[in-house]
Amino acid sequence: MTAQTATAARARTGGPRDDGPEILEHVLGWILVAVIAMLVVRLGLM
């Protein structure tokens, strides 16, 4: 078994090459940023 056939037989686990809804990832990322910013301001850390 060569290295090429070994990697081809492996199951895909996602990652950077995985195609998906990029807009959803961006929206969820910005929501997370906004939530963290609200927590920082409410706790008086900034």
**pLDDT value for 40:** 94
**pLDDT value for 3:** 59
Instruction: Collect the ranges in the chain with pLDDT lower than 70.
Output: 1-10, 12, 14-19
3, 9 Cβ separation under 8 angstroms: no
Q: Residue 41 and residue 46: Cα distance in Å, rounded?
A: 6
- The CA-based dihedral angle spanning residues 29, 30, 32, 37, taken in that order and rounded to the nearest 10 degrees: 150
Average pLDDT, the chain: 80
**pLDDT value for 34:** 97
**pLDDT value for 36:** 97
Domain ranges across the chain: 22-46
**pLDDT value for 26:** 93
